[in-house]
Structure 1
Amino acid sequence: MVRTRDTEAELNLPPGFRFHPTDEELVIHYLCRKAAFQRLPVPIIAELDLYKFNPWELPDKALFGQKEWYFFTPRDRKYPNGSRPNRAAGSGYWKATGADKPLSRQGSSKMVAIKKALVFYHGKAPRGIKTDWIIHEYRLAEADRSPNKKGGLRLDDWVLCRLYNKKNNWGKMQQQQKEMEKDETTSDSLETSTPESDI
């Protein structure tokens, strides 16, 4: 998604603004503040239930970004009394890859959050087809995830996700779509401007 100056003005972003936060900056300045109901440095991260969509639908729902998109999303439990998250999403599911990475403030050994990498698989587990869509999910380390007495499925009110396409196919597909639409518009205007006597 290409953001224009109008979009930057709506978000009150300075000219030439780029959003490339480190893991620590995402956790300390965005996720911790969100969980504590504090004001964010920049209102640039969209809130939505990321797990209700296919990953290729998400860039259009982001507030900002061209190759990476950021979202605050709730996480639900897979089972009412368990602590496993429900990873089903859109027409597939997200599958964890690699080891979890503990995150702490610079100069401190106390873990603040955990970073997990997930890959999107299209179809049903365990026979899904691996895609190039990846999210880095950041969750607070000390959040209370014990099952509540009401039997609710909410595991986390908010986790922060960074979404990207490993091969950046989404950007290429968007560009091709624009070129096709432009070609169709050009050919339509040529057809309407051709006099009938020349046919």
Structure 2
Amino acid sequence: MSMVEEFYDEEEELVGFRFNPSEEELILDYLLPKLGFYQPKTIYLLEDKDEIYAKVPWRLKHTENGIFEPNEWFYFVKKTNRKVKGWKATGGLKDVLSKKNGKVIGKKRNRSFYVEGERSGWTMTEYSSIGNQNQLLCHLKGP
């Protein structure tokens, strides 16, 4: 094997890799293991970000890790019962279905962040499991 072939074999796994899981994968491979239902299969761990509802999204300290698309992050968040100023639901709570058997495996809710009554361009999708709606996996996107 030449040096060039060795180099490409070692680097091949990460070249062009982006974190782009389906809704089903977010729940089954990330949220449920976080809740302790089983061991995670993946090595990429998402951050806990409990202040996501306490600050405007552009003032959060976002970790740039190179696997997320630009202006896009995924966080584990504890659900708060208070109304979040600025974040408004853009639809009702929707089911997330298993592609394998069509059963409901979780729920999702889309939100947009508003400033003085106008959309800011920031969106968030909150994912929850059926058994625990207090721990969320949030997909946050900036403009």
TM over 0.5: yes
Q: Is the 8 A contact 1:46 1:63 kept in 2?
A: no
The normalised TM-score by structure 2 is 0.75
In the aligned structure 1, how far is the partner of 2:78 from the partner of 2:41?
18
Change (3 A) 1:16 1:44: farther
Query: 5+ unaligned residues in a row in structure 2: which ranges?
Result: 1-12
Residue in structure 1 matching 2:128, options 139, 148, 159 = 139
In the aligned structure 2, how far is the partner of 1:40 from the partner of 1:71?
18
Please show how residues 1-199 of structure 1 align to structure 2 within 5 Å.
14-36=14-36, 38-39=39-40, 41-49=42-50, 50-58=52-60, 60-62=61-63, 64=65, 65=68, 66-78=70-82, 86=83, 88=84, 92-122=85-115, 128-143=117-132, 156=134, 158-165=135-142, 168=143
Cα offset, 1:161, TM superposition: 0.7
**Cα deviation per residue 1:97-146 (whole Å; 9 max; x = unaligned)?**
123321122222321111110011225xxxx4332110011011222x6x
Change (3 A) 1:161 1:33: same
Query: 5+ unaligned residues in a row in structure 1: which ranges?
Result: 1-12, 79-85, 146-155, 169-199
Q: Is the 8 A contact 2:62 2:73 kept in 1?
A: no
Change (3 A) 1:43 1:17: same
In the aligned structure 2, how far is the partner of 1:44 from the partner of 1:14?
16
The 3-state SS of whatever aligns with 2:44 is coil
In the aligned structure 2, how far is the partner of 1:122 from the partner of 1:42?
37
The 3-state SS of whatever aligns with 1:61 is coil
Which amino acid is 1:36 matched to? G
With CA pairs under 8 Å and 6+ residues apart, which has the higher RCO, 1 or 2? 2
Per mean C-alpha deviation after superposition, the further-off stretch among 68-77 and 29-38 is 29-38
Quote the residue 2:7 is aligned against: none
Which amino acid is 2:59 matched to? E
Larger Cα-atom Rg? 1
Equivalenced residues, count: 126
Which amino acid is 2:139 matched to? R
Change (3 A) 1:61 1:162: same
Cα offset, 1:96, TM superposition: 0.5
**Cα deviation per residue 1:30-51 (whole Å; 9 max; x = unaligned)?**
0111111633613342111111
Q: CA RMSD in A?
A: 2.2
Change (3 A) 1:40 1:54: farther
Change (3 A) 1:103 1:54: same
